[in-house]
């Protein structure tokens, strides 16, 4: 009996060793086809190009911005851009779910290719779980190419890649963009999945994207090109090494309705009812025109091959300049570190008002990240920084009020934006945490718009206090939380809506040396 157990144990150990060795093998690098974003003259000779040409002439050097806070509008905008594209679609995401909204958008990409549109889809491989068949099917289309960023060689046990190739696997492409005909693009915080578009009964995310036209779009396209050609982007055929499933129309109809028929129908209806892309094509969409700068990390960051002084975080500091009056920061995963606390405290010491909104422990979907923030709360409050923590919200608040410029429904904050001096703001994928600063690649816009910037500042004065807890220190240096309910202020001496075990877990995580990973 003992011999049999030892034999089975040795076989199991051998099997695990093989898995570890296999997952550590680098994916083979073969020649990749070269392609570029649509050229300027070709891009102008499209429906989108012709529609916005006269408006660009009236706003030289500026880009048109349309905010997408509502989740169903954000979904519809992507689907409609796919439908109006004449020549190209360049799509880049960190996460793409195989759920209702994910499969609907896959179907839109396939339908665009059937019309003759060239589609390039670049996904971070950490966020493609369960999609291998769909990606193979997409890539089998003659006008669709799919590439994976920092892919895992082992498909069924991806997490083992972190054990054998941690330094590379720990670096992910967090960028998010959806660009049609090099004329219009959507950039912001949303990934592709039901929780980002309010199509699920589980955790929903309050988020923010912007639809943009004008000079900034060509910069997004050029950035996509360098990621597409980077050493970290692998053609999906080299990674999956499997025969693609059928690419017939019937197969794609099955993919489209693989989730809930009712939910799919609801989002198809949202596409049909959305007017703003049709207004864009008709030249009637009300856009905010502003000087807009795209900033992003070099894709070499995915291999750890860039200096800190060239990162998006460094560029962001240069572009935003020196705040003079106020900074309003919204970040779902806020891990300031000791250096960040010092930097924010220095702003306060100069008379700059600093306010921060992040997730409460009750609302966050990543407890370890909350631990990295929680250990810095007292130091932030001591420095005079105002802290707000978003409550876990229902998908429809009873009073019907908007949750502000970062989204109108959701149970967890996911928007990444901050405003400076009521004059400019950042919108993108960047979180104020060590992972965004040093490990993941990021993308975003700095928009010189007093109207948009001031809307963020105003939210901290009216809407945000109604949707969050404000954190305070009492005379004994103990934390407490207040919330506004029906015109009254309620005080909590423990983190609201949490249990002892949950708080103890956060306390334990906060003492571990993991802050650099968060």
Which residue in 301, 326, 370, 414 is the catalytic one?
Answer: 414
Question: Sheet of 479-485: strands edge to edge?
Answer: 292-296, 443-447, 424-428, 417-420, 326-330, 353-359, 386-390, 468-473, 479-485, 488-492
Token couple for 259: 């989730």
Q: Active site includes 375?
A: no
Dump the DSSP string for 205-226: EE--EEEEESHHHHHHHHHHHH
Residue 119 half-sphere exposure toward CB, CA atoms < 13 A: 30
Q: Active site includes 414?
A: yes
| Cα–Cα distance, 262 to 194 (Å, whole number) | 13
Which residue in 99, 110, 174, 433 is the catalytic one?
Answer: 174
* Residues in Cβ contact with 388 at an 8 Å cutoff, skipping those fewer than 6 apart: 355, 356, 357, 358, 460, 464, 465, 468, 469, 470, 471
Q: Active site includes 174?
A: yes
Token couple for 123: 């996904």
Cβ pair 400, 417 in contact under 8 A = no
Cβ pair 246, 157 in contact under 8 A = no
Is 210 exposed, middle or buried, given 0-12, 13-18 or 19+ CB atoms closer than 10 A? buried
Q: Active site includes 223?
A: no
Residue 385 half-sphere exposure toward CB, CA atoms < 13 A: 25
Residue 81 half-sphere exposure toward CB, CA atoms < 13 A: 27
Q: Active site includes 181?
A: yes
Comparing CA positions, the residue from 133, 126, 129 lying closest to residue 149 is 126
| Cα–Cα distance, 386 to 457 (Å, whole number) | 13
Phi/psi region, residue 95 (left: phi>0; alpha: psi -120 to 50; beta: rest), is beta
Which residue in 70, 99, 125, 181 is the catalytic one?
Answer: 181
| Cα–Cα distance, 310 to 314 (Å, whole number) | 6
Which residue in 176, 301, 370, 457 is the catalytic one?
Answer: 176
Token couple for 88: 């190209």
Which residue in 86, 194, 421, 433 is the catalytic one?
Answer: 421
Q: Active site includes 254?
A: no
Which residue in 110, 370, 416, 457 is the catalytic one?
Answer: 416
Cβ pair 67, 452 in contact under 8 A = yes
**Which residues are known to be catalytic?**
174, 176, 181, 414, 416, 421
């Amino acid at each position: 009996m003992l011999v049999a157990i030892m034999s089975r144990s040795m076989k199991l150990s051998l099997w695990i060793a093989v898995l570890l060795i296999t997952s550590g093998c680098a994916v083979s690098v073969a020649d990749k086809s070269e392609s570029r974003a649509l050229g300027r003259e070709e891009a102008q000779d499209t429906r989108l190009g012709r529609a916005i040409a006269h408006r660009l002439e009236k706003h030289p050097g500026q880009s048109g911005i349309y905010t997408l806070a509502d989740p169903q509008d954000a979904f519809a905008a992507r689907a409609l851009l796919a439908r109006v594209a004449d020549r190209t679609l360049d799509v880049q995401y960190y996460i793409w779910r195989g759920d209702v909204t994910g499969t609907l958008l896959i179907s839109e990409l396939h339908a665009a290719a059937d019309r003759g549109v060239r589609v390039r889809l670049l996904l971070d491989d950490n966020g493609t779980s369960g999609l291998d068949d769909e990606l193979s099917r997409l890539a089998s289309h003659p006008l669709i190419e799919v590439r994976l960023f920092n892919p895992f060689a082992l498909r069924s046990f991806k997490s083992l890649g972190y054990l054998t190739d941690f330094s590379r696997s720990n670096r992910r492409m967090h960028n998010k963009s959806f660009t049609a005909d090099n004329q219009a693009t959507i950039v912001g915080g949303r990934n592709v999945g039901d929780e980002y578009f309010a199509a699920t009964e589980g955790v929903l995310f309050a988020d923010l994207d912007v639809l943009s036209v004008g000079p900034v779009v060509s910069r997004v396209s050029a950035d996509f090109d360098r990621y597409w050609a980077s050493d970290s982007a692998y053609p999906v055929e080299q990674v999956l090494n499997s025969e693609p499933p059928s690419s017939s129309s019937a197969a794609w109809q099955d993919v489209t309705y693989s989730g809930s028929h009712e939910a799919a129908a609801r989002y198809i209806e949202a596409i049909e009812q959305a007017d703003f892309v049709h207004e864009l094509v008709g030249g009637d969409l009300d856009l905010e025109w502003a000087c807009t700068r795209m900033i992003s990390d070099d894709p070499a960051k995915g291999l750890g091959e860039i200096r800190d002084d060239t990162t998006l975080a460094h560029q962001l500091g240069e572009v935003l300049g020196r705040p003079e009056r106020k900074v309003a920061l919204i970040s779902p995963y806020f891990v300031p570190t000791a250096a960040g606390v010092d930097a924010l405290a220095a702003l306060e010491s100069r008379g700059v008002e600093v306010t921060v909104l992040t997730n409460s422990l009750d609302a966050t979907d990543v407890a370890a990240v909350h631990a990295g923030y929680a250990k810095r709360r007292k130091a932030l409050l001591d420095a005079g920084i105002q802290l707000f923590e978003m409550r876990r919200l229902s998908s429809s608040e009873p009073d019907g009020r908007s949750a502000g410029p970062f989204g109108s429904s959701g149970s967890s904050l996911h928007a990444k934006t901050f405003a400076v001096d009521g004059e400019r703001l950042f919108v993108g994928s960047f979180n104020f945490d060590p992972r965004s600063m040093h490990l993941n690649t990021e993308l975003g816009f700095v928009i010189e718009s007093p109207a948009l910037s001031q809307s963020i500042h105003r939210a901290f004065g009216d809407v945000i206090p109604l949707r969050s807890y404000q954190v305070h220190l009492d005379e004994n240096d103990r934390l407490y939380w207040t919330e506004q309910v029906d015109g009254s202020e309620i005080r909590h001496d423990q983190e609201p809506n949490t249990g002892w075990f949950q708080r103890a877990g956060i306390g334990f995580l906060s003492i571990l040396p993991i802050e650099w990973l968060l």
